[in-house]
Amino acid sequence: MTGRIAIVTGGTGALGQSVTMRLLGAGATVWVPYVVPAEHEALRARVGASASLHCAQVDVADEAAFTGFARGVLGAHGRIDILVNGVGGFAGGDLASTPLAEWDRMLNLNLRTAVIGCRGVLPAMAAAGSGRIVNVSSRAVVPPLGGFIGYTVAKAAVITLTQALAREVPRGVTVNAVLPSTMDTPANRQAMPDADRSGWVSPDQVAEVIAYLA
């Protein structure tokens, strides 16, 4: 991936850091928008000194902010080759116990950010006639599982977005989604301390698949 320019949203999270590290290791230049300063510091500490990593505090759910960020990447390099839509969030609850505010939060974190990300990079990819978009959905939606319905529906929408957008983009641009099962992250270990982790997948394994698609 030497010479290729990538944007990884959610690139300071557990999966995002693995994706960022994988793309950097393959020679790409990676731009990461972030909102949590502590996560940014953790990513910087993990990467170390690198002229190929660029980070900016940007809310990906704010279309004007992300569009400005994407324009900055284009201004610096003249191209955007890869977008990984890795921003997301999880919440439990069935239909009766999930308030509408939580539905809005799940849709904003998981779907809105992916839509904004795609809208921000597609004009440049279409003009170049090449590009790779990888969205992160969830294994929980095939088949859809109950008990965290807001999350499940939002991640299912990401799959539909991916399938529909793949039919809209010009030749040379690809749109794919990955559907990880439960990932072995500190947050999941804390949330499910008694769970059997033998079937959990590591963020590095998911990052490898994302890198393949990119």
Which residues are known to be catalytic? 151
What 8-state DSSP symbol labels residue 51?
T
Tokens linked to 202 = 């590591």
What letter represents residue 31's amino acid? Answer: W
**Where are the alpha helices (H) located in the chain, listed in sequence order?**
14-25, 37-47, 63-77, 100-107, 113-128, 149-168, 186-191, 203-213
What letter represents residue 24's amino acid? Answer: L
**Chain-centroid distance, C-alpha 26:** 18
First and final CA of the chain: distance in angstroms?
9
